[in-house]
A and B are shown apart, each in its own frame.
Chain A
Amino acid sequence: MDPMSNGTNRQWSAVSEYERPLTLYATRILGDVGRAQDVVQETFLRLFSQNPFPAQPFVAQWLYTVCRNKALDIRRKEKRMNPLSDSHIETLRSADPPPPEILESREKTSQVMKALDGLPENQQEVIRLKFQHGRSYKEISEITNLSVSNVGVLIHKGLKSIRAQVANA
């Protein structure tokens, strides 16, 4: 059956539109492309079973929210089995370098990116959601379960640190 035929239209166009950004997003959280892909696949499977289907303006927000929760769930479980890293779970502070697949595609790590990689993970996450995924403060607040003003503060702080580092370089 042609996936573009009637009735499955919206589901399939959501896959085409968001599979890449979501994989990127989940890879950030999990530090591993393969597991991120699994999470994204599950996210779409879950979307397919949604009835009613989320209204058009909320599809992206829905996808990012579910994808994030699934990814965090997996990460939490992994870390729970490893008592040494217990304290790192909730603060989401991770100095893990990005996976090599993503590093390679960057021609050279610019100052800005270096500065970004140095930020606390919660600032990195909202900055990526804003500038890489084009999500509004409101959407980011829904996705991350933070208040809108909290999102504003994190983005502001993050940008400020980056500006400072770029200026000093």
Chain B
Amino acid sequence: MKFSPDDPKLTAYALGELGDTERAEMEKQLAEDEDGRKHVEEIRAVASMLAEELKKEASPGLTEGQRATLEARLSSRVKKAKGLRRLMSLGWFRVAACVVLAIGVGLLVDALQFHQVIRGAFRASSEQLAGVPMTKGSPSMGGEGGGGGGPGCGGDSTTTSVPIVYYGMAGEGGGGGGGGPVAVGGGLYRSETRREAGEAGFNTEAYSGITDNAFLRVVDNPLSTFSIDVDTASYANVRRFLSEDMAPPKDSVRIEELVNYFTYRYEPPRGENPFSVHVELSGCPWNREHRLARVGLKGREIAENKRPPSNLVFLLDVSGSMQPENKLPLVQSAMRMLVSRLTENDRVAIAVYAGASGLVLPSTPGQAKETILSSLERLQAGGSTNGGAGIQLAYDAAVSSFIQGGVNRVILCTDGDFNVGVSSEGELVRLIEEKAKSGVFLSVLGFGMGNYKDSMLEGLADKGNGNYAYIDTLQEARKVLVEQMSGTLVTIAKDVKIQVEFNPAQAEAYRLIGYENRILKKEDFNDDKKDAGEIGAGHTVTALYEIVPAGKRVESSGVDPLKYQKPMQAAPASDSKEMMTVKLRYKQPDGDTSKLLEFPVTDGGLSYLQASGDFKFAASVAAFGMILRDSPHKGTSTLDAVLELADEGKGSDREGYRAEFIELVKKAKAISER
């Protein structure tokens, strides 16, 4: 019998895919079939050619960051497994509980994967899919071939503590995006939009959800503890929305960042402390019954010529999403301004990252301006974004040219749209946290719009001992990089924490305005291992407390009066007229032990009309923030009242920032009246 060349058995035989019996039979038949043998020969020849050619196809494999993620996941699994084994040894009756726990771990892992998938779905690939109008949904975990594992949604407990809300907004062509909204199951992500190339429409800006701090009763919570925050990004971002005739998304408004955008004329410190503390207490403009306390910090000023030598590593995002005029080109202009101020004591390196990362300028002395500028000119945007690998590279460069006693800082310029490699927020934050231990500080400068990842960037700066600013215009670049250069670059105190103890004899309840994502536990105040905010040279930091005086009614907290507990015994000092004591802890930039400062505050009974101009202005900014956030605590504030108060508090306003604020409020008023 002869084989037809169409018999797949021939191929199977030639490739060694037949079982013993079939093979033996084939061999017997082929012995008498010359054509058949020829076919087999030919099949084998083409097969080896194919194998040879296919071997030449190189595979990039995973990125460094992804591999690191996997390694980290394996290490953490080992720890969990050990915990399980310990439980197991407790006895058989615990087995059932262990099974439940094991399922729990499975769920957690799947939740993490889900997070990854979401990030993956955010691979805003205008660069990769240019011209291909398609919109991706977020891949779900269902319908997979592997089986096993729990449902692919659930708490995101290990990565972020607050749900992230992705805003979809029409008419945001800036990022070049488009596409349709896709609802994601699982309840965690309330809505999500995808940006894709080629169509105008939606943006994928991400903001962490913020719930306004509530009023807390002094008897239940006598201590209020938080970390300072000198970030200003939210203000510039709000300004960008308003200037485009849009109301900013509620969660993009962080009141403390609006208030801290402005410099207040607090007296600089005189003694050895790196900053001075000023507390002012007067009436609350938006609630006649309440008092408003302002805690102001002012960092020691350092003259430009006394600035310590700086070792700066710029880490620039040059991925495709950075192409628009208000991104990479703006970064380049901003850096040109900064470079013009550098001296021979300073060093600059430039690292870039896109799909891959690289050092485009090794550490170079500050006076070699030509070299620095020409490497800046050559930068071009294109490709996907592997932020993780770039961050690694930049810190390595900063560490290798570390200046003892100088400023060592990585300056990350990005739209935060990391979409390759270590792209889960949690992984990046952990990487930064690890790197911050090297003594290198981090500044994050956010650029652009449309796919701007605000929550991610703030988190990075926070963990990297750094500050975070949003740069929307060249003017803003000048403010951050030139006018406040020493403040942005020179840290004068780190891990600055504030704890306020209220006197129940004077205060019924209080509310910290803003700083929602900076709240610390009361134990954290004295714990030097707990990270907190940094303050730069000349920086001012302002925090506002709205206080309900003793004897005034507080909106019910919804909790019944306690049945078994005695009301808390007031200490003898509560007889004093002091309203509160403001305590601060800080460390020297290179120190590990904190120092404590204490300031008792007494209410002089002033009305807000008698308050200082700075107090009025700060209050007007906070009220504006509460209106934009539609805060339940905005009281009687209106945009008109904000305008009036801001006008009274404007003062000399040399740089014109306060005048600009007043214009913004007017703009918001126009939008709200539309």
- Report which A residues bind B (CB closer than 8 A): 1, 3, 5, 7-8, 11-12, 15, 19-21, 23-24, 27, 32-35, 37-42, 44-46, 48-51, 62, 65-66, 68-70, 73-74, 77-82, 85, 101-102, 105-107, 110, 112-113, 116, 127-128, 130-132, 136-137, 149, 152-153, 155-157, 159-160, 162-163, 166
Contacts and interface: CB of A to CB of B under 8 A. Distances in A.
Contacts of B56: 105-107
B123 interface: yes
B529 interface: no
B70 A15 contact: yes
Contacts of A11: 74
B394 interface: no
A127 B143 contact: no
A80 B78 contact: no
B214 interface: no
B110 A49 contact: yes
23 contacts: A8-B74, A15-B67, A19-B67, A34-B384, A35-B123, A37-B60, A37-B63, A41-B66, A41-B70, A46-B144, A48-B70, A48-B109, A49-B106, A66-B145, A66-B146, A69-B143, A69-B146, A73-B143, A77-B137, A78-B135, A78-B137, A136-B17, A160-B5
Contacts of B55: 132
A12 B74 contact: yes
A101 B12 contact: no
Contacts of A50: 146, 148-149
Interface in B44-70: 46-47, 49-51, 53-63, 66-67, 69-70
Contacts of A132: 51, 54-55, 57
B372 to A, nearest CB: 31
B47 A105 contact: no
Contacts of B78: 1, 5, 7-8
Interface in B106-152: 106, 109-110, 112-113, 116-117, 120, 123, 125, 128-129, 133-137, 139-140, 143-146, 148-149
Prevailing SS type, chain A contact patch = helix
A45 B73 contact: yes
Nearest to B63: A37
B113 A45 contact: yes
Nearest to A149: B8
Per CB-CB distance, the 9 closest pairs between chain A and chain B, nearest first, are A156-B8, A105-B58, A132-B54, A24-B59, A1-B75, A156-B11, A69-B145, A20-B59, A81-B135
A19 B67 CA distance: 9
Contacts of B63: 37
Contacts of A116: 50, 53
A130 B46 CA distance: 13
A79 B132 CA distance: 11
A112 B146 contact: no
A123 B6 CA distance: 15
B113 to A, nearest CB: 5
> Interface residues of B toward A: which range?
35 or more
B180 interface: yes
Contacts of A157: 8
B455 interface: no
A101 B60 contact: yes
B145 A68 contact: yes
A101 B120 CA distance: 20
A46 B146 contact: yes
Contacts, number: 201
Contacts of A110: 49, 53
B116 A45 contact: yes
Contacts of A39: 120
A117 B444 CA distance: 46
B344 interface: no
Contacts of A33: 60
A128 B179 CA distance: 34
Contacts of B368: none
Nearest to B43: A159
B74 A48 contact: yes
B144 A41 contact: no
Contact of B50 (A42, A68, A131, A160): A131
B365 to A, nearest CB: 37
A94 to B, nearest CB: 13
A45 B384 CA distance: 22
A167 to B, nearest CB: 9
B81 interface: yes
A44 to B, nearest CB: 5
B50 A81 contact: no
B109 to A, nearest CB: 4
B210 interface: no
A24 B57 contact: yes
A163 to B, nearest CB: 5
A5 B464 CA distance: 30
B578 to A, nearest CB: 51
B575 interface: no
Contacts of B60: 20, 23, 33, 37, 101
A2 B445 CA distance: 35
B423 to A, nearest CB: 8
Contact of B46 (A42, A77, A106, A159): A159
Contacts of B11: 152, 155-156, 159
B137 A41 contact: no
A153 B59 contact: no
Contacts of B145: 65-66, 68-69
Interface in B424-467: none
B474 interface: no
A163 B43 contact: yes
Contacts of A45: 70, 73, 109, 112-113, 116
A20 B61 contact: yes
A42 B120 contact: yes
Given A19-B61, A23-B60, A82-B134, A7 B81 contact: yes
B180 to A, nearest CB: 7
Give the residue among B116, B146, B149 with the most A Cβ atoms within 10 A.
Answer: B146
